[in-house]
A and B are shown apart, each in its own frame.
Chain A
Amino acid sequence: MKEDILQGNIKFLNLGDLMQLLGGNGSSGILRIMSPYAPEPGIIYFDNGNPINASCGMLSGLDALYSLFGWTDGEFEFTTTRVTSERVITKGRMGIILDGLKMLDEGQIERLGPVSADTRTAKYSEVGAELPVIWGPLVDYMYVVDEEEFHDGDAILEEGRHGNWVWVVLEGVIDIIKETASGPLTLCQIGNGSFVGSISSFLVRNNSRMYSAKAVGDVQLGVLDSQRLAQEYSKMSYEFKAFVMSLDKRLRSVTDRVVEYSTKQIDLDDYLKYRQKVLEQGDDEKRLFRVQHGKASLVQKTDVGFVPLAHLQRDDFFGFIPFLDLGHEPEYASVLASKDLKIQTLNPDIIQQEYDNISTTFKNFIDNIATCTNSLTKVLNNQQRELMT
């Protein structure tokens, strides 16, 4: 029997509206919500228009249903089917909807999105007050060619060693560690959907690893088809390639700043030496630029002083990226430049178009770089705060 399906985006028709629609229609079946920020879909079972059970990650029942109100972005899909789940939820539909939205408004339900939910916090003392755990988007198995298992404490990557493989975390958590003058430093942890290895891993022959990665508990990794990714990359436009490489470089820069902060080697003057302000933090800039000549630096102004983020050189981009949230310029950082800076204006729509057309895995990779950059920038903020207090 063919099932009736209703599908769409939760941004357009939110959970409250959806529940009213299914309720008014007296529908029985299963509602699945897929968020790019959650490893597993959220599920709600309906019987005769009323929700009777739900699951969301580790949660079930009413708690799960409420937490799904925080999923404000993602795809939903309702299929009519006879529901065998037992009735765990007895509260009325409208009561749940109004309660759910109220809790969302009051901040009792976590909003799942690119910044807030991806950086769940774990206790850690070395890198500022909080060690972020970075979760990636849903894994696209099309590019997974093999699976590997690691156990607690196993080294997955070693910094400085050569290697071209890239993995995606299928299950588990990994420590990302940098070697510093004062010993190893755990930068962050990555979880399901995050990528292990950088873009250059499959592009540069004899790529040397930028960091070490160690399994925390049992970890299952998917080996990605590097050749396919490299092929895809080779077909991209020159602008987009430069954009991707620059994004990767941005993450490396931010990573290096975290290390510098922790070893007290940060040199702010090196970033503030450029006198020309090309982009002021908070500007409503809607363009994207590429550096053609000269040098620039990226600095974030916070309530505890300036935080240096990166140096920009030829072929690096800066400005507004409509589809990524790095937590940097134009909203959260300024760009200072040398007198001889020459820039080219790029049309962000064209970059966006190319981004929209690449494979899901490549897109996830790029999104993951942005999320990591965003999270590590927050670490930098905490480090600056500690430095000042």
Chain B
Amino acid sequence: MAIFNLKKREIECKIVYYGPGRGGKTTNLEYIFKKYSKQITGEMVSINTEGDRTLFFDFLPMGLGKIRGCDIKMQLYTVPGQVQYSATRKLVLRGVDGIVFVADSLEVRREKNMLSLKDLQKNLKEYGLNIFKIPLVLQYNKRDLADEGIPLMSIEQMEKDLNRQLKAPSFPGSATKGTGIGDTLKECAQLTLKALQKELQWAQ
């Protein structure tokens, strides 16, 4: 649930990038931080957590308008997947408004994707959230590696593996090249705001 900051007349939403370790969550956020620097208000906080870095920064989505005259600020996070980081994960996932699940297209990571998605469902449940109801976007990352002859799963297979029941919007992407990154975020931001407006019955 987003936070309303009456003092600053801002609505803060939280979007969390989730996915298997080394699947590209951090690269996604780093690309956004560089590419959309004009829409970023503070600095990027980067914490070295084992296996993956944890990132955080504030992002101002453009062209999505205001809600009741309040600006919209999005906090973008990545979350460490390892079991041990329970306090960190709790802080990041509590009150989350939207999720981007970054899946790894490498064939060898097939099982890791599915486990991570299951893990996400379990974690969300702990905070009373339902993976089927929360705004969620999937990204099939590392598509560019096909050019280098590395065996990837087909989009169809990944859809079948991960998205058969969820039926969430999905995008192929390459976080290192920057393709699909903006689309993923934009879709997630739009879904999140729509859900927020619906929840508040404030449709404009």
Q: Do A and B come from one complex?
A: yes
**Chain A: residues with CB nearer than 8 A to chain B?**
14, 16-17, 24-26, 92, 94-95, 97-99, 101-102, 104-106
Report the separation of the CA atoms of residues A42 and B7 in the bound assembly, to the nearest whole angstrom: 28
Could you tell me if B88 and A101 are in contact, using CB atoms closer than 8 angstroms?
Answer: yes
Secondary structure dominating the interface of B:
mixed
Measured between beta carbons, the chain B residues less than 8 angstroms from A26 are 7-8
- Pair A105/B84 contact, Cβ less than 8 Å: yes
Contacts of B45 in A (CB 8 A): 92, 94-95, 98
- Contact between B12 and A102, CB atoms less than 8 A apart: no
Question: In the complex, what distance in Å separates the CA atom of A19 from the CA atom of B85?
Answer: 19
Q: Say yes or no: A105-B47 contact (C-beta < 8 A), given A17-B91, A24-B3, A26-B7.
A: no
A-facing mask of B95-137, CB < 8 A → 1, else 0?
0000000000000000000000000000000000000000000
Give Cα A37 to B56, complex, Å: 33
> B91, A16: Cβ atoms under 8 Å?
yes
Query: With A16-B91, A17-B91 as given contacts, are A102 and B47 in contact (CB-CB < 8 Å)?
Result: yes
Please report the C-alpha to C-alpha distance between residue A24 and residue B54 in the assembled complex, in whole angstroms.
Answer: 21
B86 at the A interface (CB under 8 A): yes
The 9 A-B residue pairs with the shortest CB-CB distance, nearest first, are: A95-B45, A101-B88, A101-B87, A105-B85, A98-B47, A16-B91, A94-B45, A105-B87, A104-B87
User: Do A105 and B43 touch across chains, with their CB atoms under 8 A apart?
Assistant: no
A25 near B54: Cβ-Cβ < 8 Å: no
B11 smallest CB distance to A (angstroms)? 11
* Alpha-carbon separation in the docked complex, A101 to B80 (Å): 12
Q: From B45, which residue of chain A is reached at the shortest CB distance?
A: A95
Q: In chain B between 13 and 61, which residues have their CB closer than 8 angstroms to a CB of chain A?
A: 42-43, 45, 47, 49-50, 54, 56
Contact of A98 among B7, B8, B42, B91 (CB under 8 A): B91
Q: How far is the CA of A310 from the CA of B201 in the complex (A)?
A: 64
B5 at interface by CB-CB < 8 Å: yes
Q: Identify the closest chain B residue to A16 (Cβ).
A: B91
**B interface residues with partner A (beta carbon < 8 Å):** 3, 5, 7-8, 12, 42-43, 45, 47, 49-50, 54, 56, 80, 84-88, 91, 94
**A109's closest neighbor in chain B, by CB?**
B87
Q: Are A24 and B12 in contact (CB under 8 A)?
A: yes
Q: What are some 19 contacts across the A-B interface (CB < 8 A)?
A: A16-B91, A24-B3, A24-B5, A24-B12, A25-B5, A25-B7, A26-B7, A92-B42, A94-B42, A94-B56, A95-B47, A95-B56, A98-B47, A98-B88, A102-B80, A102-B88, A105-B85, A106-B50, A106-B85
In the complex, the chain B residue whose C-beta lies closest to that of A99 is B47
A362 to B88, CA, bound (A): 37
Q: With both chains docked as a complex, state the minimum distance between the C-beta of A15 and any C-beta of chain B, in angstroms.
A: 10
With beta carbons under 8 angstroms apart, the residue of A17, A24, A105 that contacts B88 is: A105
List chain B residues, Cβ under 8 A from A102: 47, 49, 54, 80, 85, 88
What is the CB-to-nearest-CB distance from B76 to chain A, in angstroms, rounded to a whole number? 11
CB distance from B116 to the nearest CB of A (A): 18
Of all chain B residues, the one with the shortest Cβ separation from A97 is: B91
Which residues on A sit within 8 Å (CB–CB) of B80? 102
CB distance from A65 to the nearest CB of B (A): 15
Q: Who on chain B is nearest to A105 by CB?
A: B85
Indicate if the CB atoms of A98 and B56 lie closer than 8 Å. Answer: yes
- Name the B residues within 8 Å of A97 (CB-CB): 91
Docked CA distance A94–B45 (Å) = 7
> In the complex, are the beta carbons of B7 and A92 less than 8 A apart?
no
- CB contacts (< 8 Å) of B86 on chain A: these are 105
Closest residue of chain A to B77, judged by CB? A98
| Complex CA distance for A101 and B87, rounded to whole angstroms | 6
Contacts of A16 in B (CB 8 A): 87, 91
Complex Cα distance, B81 from A105, in Å, reads: 12
User: Within 8 Å CB of A95, what residues of B?
Assistant: 45, 47, 56
Complex Cα spacing A14 to B45, Å: 20
